[in-house]
Every structure is written in C-alpha cells, then in structure tokens.
Copies of this chain bind each other. A is one copy, B any other.
Amino acid sequence: MARVVVEVMPKPEILDPQGKAISSGLRRLGFDGFTDVRQGKRFELTVDGEVTDAVLAEVRDAAEKLLSNPVIENVVAVRVEEEDTEAGAR
C-alpha cells in the first residue's frame, strides 16, 4: 500500500505563536543559529491500491477541504512516499 504525504503550513502573514515559542525554546537550549521557526502539519494518508493521478487529485481536494484551513494555511506539498518512512527515524 502506498502512502501520500500532505504538508500544511500557516500562511506567511499569519502569526504562529507555537513557532515563536519553539524559537525562544531553541535559544534557551543554546541553539543560536535560527532566526525563525514556523510550525505546520504533516499528514500521511495510506492509499488502498495504487496512487494514480485520480487518487492524487482526490488527495489535493481533501487537503483543501479537510486537512487545511485555506483562510490561514497553505498546502505546501502533496507527494507520494515510499513505504515505512514513518518507522525510519533519523
């Protein structure tokens, strides 16, 4: 079974308090080289069968309708991923 990854981020003009908190946290822990942090979401959709263009179109549709709020978020990526990425920590 294939997996499609959808990535959603807050629009650039939207404030991101979680990202700001992480940014301060990084500085507090001594990580100094970062000027900004934004936090978004990553979804893994397991597809029953093959990932055809029709399935990808359906995923894009679902990404706009359910996985993101188009008023404040952008769907920044929809891509097919190989198996067991989730398990593979690096």
A45 within 8 Å of B (CB atoms): yes
A71 located at the interface, meaning its Cβ lies under 8 Å from any Cβ of chain B in the complex? no
Question: How far is the CB of A84 from the nearest CB of chain B, in Å?
Answer: 8
A interface, over-half SS: mixed
Take A31-B62, A40-B43 as given contacts and tell me if A85 and B76 are in contact as well, using a CB distance cutoff of 8 Å: yes
Q: B75, A47: Cβ atoms under 8 Å?
A: no
State in angstroms the CA–CA spacing of A46 and B35 once bound together: 6
Q: Is A67 an interface residue (CB 8 A)?
A: yes
On A, residues with C-beta under 8 Å from B are: 1, 7-9, 11-12, 19, 22, 25-26, 29, 31, 33-49, 55, 58, 60-62, 65-67, 74-78, 85-90
